[in-house]
Amino acid sequence: MSVNTFGRVLRFTTWGESHGPALGAVLDGCPPGLEISEEAIQPFLDARRPGTSKFTTQRREPDAVKILSGTFEGRTTGTPISLMIENTDQRSKDYSDVAQAYRPGHADYTYDAKYGFRDYRGGGRSSARETAARVAAGAVARQIIPEVSIMAYVCEIGGDEIDREAFDPAQIGQNPFFCPDSWAVKRWEKLVDDARKDGSSLGAVVECVATGVPAGWGAPIYGKLDADLAAAMMGINAVKAVEIGDGFRAARLRGEENADPMHPGENGPEFSANHAGGIAGGISTGQPVVMRIAFKPTSSILIPQDTITREGEATKLATKGRHDPCVGIRGAPVVEAMMALVLADHKLLHRAQCG
């Protein structure tokens, strides 16, 4: 039971620390014959890459992916695909304060409590930098599910939601917030920049929609598609909540309001609603799979906070250095990657049992 591995038949294992020489992923179970290349994976990493605007951390790294195994003449061979990203901007800084005291909201204390000590440089293994490996693996997973389109976007920052009437998918790639509403972009620019200047941070909500998922993926009872997606998303750094379809709102509906009535359609049933978010009984219905994921505000802030030292003494700590004022923004590409990985996994798992 590798705790650094995710997936059922398509499995990926990640490794690496924030300030080690490199980080990477090994993706196993990929079907043979798929076209993959470093060039095709790179754009997904670029989308997640830090340092591209003042709304993300100023750590600047090319995050260039190398394929070390699993392909031959540009195609997957069915053997494990090893992906590596070298760390190039491990700025030599003084970590003595973080080494000695626990940053509230971070994993500093819990890693020490669990393992007895920790690699404190940049958060070590608990750094969100690890998600680069997921994004690389997710780019390969997309090749397994060409029938599916995945779109993740930020729909709320610091409590300020997008206007659903102004939703324009073409906007998502046009602004630093992965935001589909150009009016919200204006507001968020100020909102996030203000938080940054205050030395504070903001939370965000990411929404993800996968269309083209056929009915029948997902494996009850303990391999339900929604349960696997919940685990995938809750495991992303800073995520504290996950909804499928209407989520918490469904708990406030009556049965007849929450139903997704079915009607005869050209290719299988047509549904006149999608409260369920495309999943019933843990199996995809053929409707879009819809999720919402809540990211807490970045724990690293310049405002000093009460905390304790490793020796248990009271102290105050402000986290200097380069940080995302809203970690949820760069969460969108990671959410997309995890969605791709889970769906590809379930496509293959379904094929195993049901041919």
Residue 54 annotated as lining a ligand binding site: yes
Residue 260's φ and ψ, nearest 5 degrees, are: -115, 85
CB 90 within 8 A of CB 119: no
d(C-alpha 251, C-alpha 253), whole Å = 6
Nearer to a copy of itself, 14 or 175 (CB): 14
- Out of 243, 332, 340, 344, name the contact with a copy of itself by CB under 8 A: 243
CB of 157 to a copy of itself, least distance (A): 8
Pair 193, 139: CB distance under 8 Å: no
Residue 292 pairs with which residues in a beta bridge? 207, 243
Query: What distance in Å separates the CA atoms of residue 7 and residue 332, rounded to the nearest whole number?
Result: 20
CA torsion angle 52 53 57 63 (round to 10)? 0
- 3-class SS of residue 64: coil
Q: How many CB atoms lie within 10 A of CB 234?
A: 13
Q: Which of residues 165-194 bind a copy of itself (CB under 8 A)?
A: none
Query: Of 138, 203, 288, 333, which one interacts with a copy of itself (CB under 8 A)?
Result: 203
* Residue 138 found at the interface with a copy of itself (CB under 8 A): no
Residue 172 vs 348, nearer CB to a copy of itself? 348
348 in contact with a copy of itself (CB under 8 A): yes
Size of the site for a copy of itself (CB under 8 A): 153
Q: Is the CB of 165 or the CB of 267 nearer to a copy of itself?
A: 267
Tokens representing 125 are: 């293994």
218 binds a copy of itself (CB under 8 A): yes
87 is in an annotated binding site: no
Q: Which amino acid appears at position 132 of this protein? A: A
**Given candidates 113, 147, 166, 174, which one binds a copy of itself under the rule CB under 8 A?**
113
With contact defined as beta carbons under 8 Å apart, do 155 and 205 qualify? yes
Quick one: which segment of 35-43, 55-63, 165-173, 267-275 binds a copy of itself (CB under 8 A)?
267-275
Decide whether 156 or 336 has the Cβ nearer to a copy of itself. 156
| For a copy of itself, the closer CB: 174 or 240 | 240
Annotated binding residues, written as ranges, equal: 48, 54, 125-127, 237-238, 281, 296-300, 322
